[in-house]
Chain A
Amino acid sequence: MSERPMEGERSFEPRIVAFFCNWCTYTAADLAGTARMTYAPNIRIIRLMCSGRLDPQFVLAAFRHGADGVLIGGCHPGDCHYQEGNYKALRRYLLLKRLLREMGIEEERLRLEWISASEGDRVQKVANEFTETIRRLGPLRLAPRPGVIRLPVAALPEPSPAAREGALP
Chain B
Amino acid sequence: MRAHEIYPNGGPRIGVYVCHCGLNIAGKVDVHEVVEFAKTLPFVVVAREYKFMCSDPGQEMIREDIREHRLNRVIVASCSPLLHEATFRRVLEQAGQNPFFFQMVNIREHVSWVTEDPREATEKAKALVAAAVRRVIFHEPLQRRRVPVKDHVLVVGGGIAGIHAALTLADAGKHVYLVEREPTIGGHMAMFDKTFPTLDCAACILTPKMSAVAAHPNITLWTYSEVIQVEGFVGNFRVRVRRKPRYVIEELCVGCLQCIDACVYKDARFPDEFNLGLGKRKPIYIPFPQATPRVVLIDPETCIWFKTGKCKRTCLEACERKAIDFEQQERIEEIEVGAIILATGFKTFDARRIPEYGYGKYPNVYTALEVERLVNAAGPTGGEVRLRDGRVPKRVGIIHCVGSRDERFNRYCSRVCCMYSLKLAHLIKERTGAEVYNFYIDMRTPGKGYEEFYDRLLQEGVHFIRGRVAEVTDWAITPEEEGKLIIRVEDTLIGVVRRIPVDMVVLAVGLEPQPDAEEVRRMFNISCSKEGFFLERHPKLAPVSTFTDGIFLAGACQGPKDIPDSVAQAGAAAAEALALIDKGYVELEPNTAYIVEELCSGCKTCISLCPYNAISFDEVRAIAVINEALCKGCGTCVAACPSGAARQHLFEDAQIFQEIEGVLAYV
Contacts and interface: CB of A to CB of B under 8 A. Distances in A.
A116 B123 CA distance: 28
Contact of B2 (A27, A150, A158, A161): A158
A61 B131 CA distance: 14
B663 A44 contact: yes
Interface in A11-64: 13, 15, 17, 22-24, 26-27, 29-30, 32-34, 36-39, 41, 44-50, 52-58, 61-62
A159 B2 contact: yes
Contacts of A46: 131, 656, 659-660, 663
A159 B110 contact: no
A13 B639 CA distance: 30
A149 interface: yes
Residue among B130, B640, B651, B663 with max Cβ neighbours from chain A (10 Å): B663
B657 A33 contact: no
A166 B110 contact: no
Contacts of A52: 609, 634-636, 639
B665 A150 contact: yes
Interface string B640-667: 1000100010011111111111011111
Given A46-B663, A52-B635, A163-B657, A36 B114 contact: yes
Contact of A41 (B121, B522, B644): B121
B148 interface: no
A152 interface: yes
Contacts, number: 197
B177 to A, nearest CB: 24
B124 interface: yes
Interface of A: 13, 15, 17, 22-24, 26-27, 29-30, 32-34, 36-39, 41, 44-50, 52-58, 61-62, 65-67, 78-79, 81-85, 88, 92, 116-119, 124, 143, 145-146, 149-152, 154-161, 163-164, 166
B657 A157 contact: no
Closest 8 A/B residue pairs (Cβ): A33-B109, A53-B635, A52-B636, A163-B654, A82-B634, A44-B663, A50-B634, A33-B113
A43 B599 CA distance: 35
Interface stretch (B207-215, B256-264, B349-357, B525-533): B525-533
Interface string B116-137: 1100110110011011001001
B367 interface: no
Given A45-B106, A54-B639, A163-B653, 20 more contacts: A13-B667, A17-B663, A17-B664, A23-B547, A36-B113, A38-B116, A41-B114, A41-B123, A50-B636, A53-B634, A53-B639, A55-B638, A58-B660, A81-B634, A82-B634, A88-B609, A88-B636, A157-B138, A163-B657, A164-B644
A41 B124 contact: yes
10 contacts: A13-B667, A17-B663, A36-B113, A44-B127, A44-B663, A53-B635, A82-B634, A83-B612, A152-B42, A152-B134
B591 interface: yes
Nearest to B632: A82
Interface in B335-349: none
Given A17-B664, A55-B638, A159 B654 contact: yes
Contacts of A84: 611
Given A117-B535, A152-B137, A157 B633 contact: no
B116 A49 contact: no
A34 B644 contact: no
Contact of B666 (A13, A29, A33, A149): A149
Contacts of B128: 44
B42 A151 contact: yes
B4 A157 contact: yes
Contact of A159 (B138, B591, B666): B138
A39 to B, nearest CB: 6
Residue among A145, A146, A155 with max Cβ neighbours from chain B (10 Å): A155
A53 B106 contact: no
Nearest to B591: A49
A159 B116 CA distance: 38
Interface in B73-95: 80-82
B96 interface: no
Contacts of B655: 159
Given A41-B123, A159-B2, A15 B611 contact: no
A53 to B, nearest CB: 3
Contacts of A166: 657, 660-661
Contacts of A118: 527-530, 535
Contacts of B41: 149, 151
B11 interface: yes
Contacts of B116: 38
Interface string B498-531: 0000000000000000000000001001011110
Nearest to A56: B639
B234 to A, nearest CB: 13
Nearest to B656: A58
B108 interface: yes
B3 interface: yes
B372 interface: no
Contact of A81 (B109, B525, B664): B525
Contacts of A48: 635, 651, 656
A164 B653 contact: yes
A56 B659 CA distance: 15
Contacts of A152: 42, 134, 137, 658, 661
A45 B109 CA distance: 11
Nearest to A41: B120
Contacts of A27: 82, 527, 547
Contacts of B560: none
Contacts of B4: 156-158
Interface in B620-636: 632-636
B151 interface: no
A17 B659 CA distance: 10
B651 A49 contact: yes
A31 to B, nearest CB: 8
B140 interface: yes
B290 interface: no
Contact of B657 (A29, A54, A61, A117): A61
B120 A149 contact: no
A34 B115 CA distance: 12
Contacts of A150: 661, 665
A125 to B, nearest CB: 13
Interface in B178-225: none
B158 interface: no
B110 A85 contact: no
Nearest to A14: B667
A146 B636 contact: no
B12 A29 contact: no
B108 to A, nearest CB: 7
Contacts of B111: 41
A53 B666 contact: no
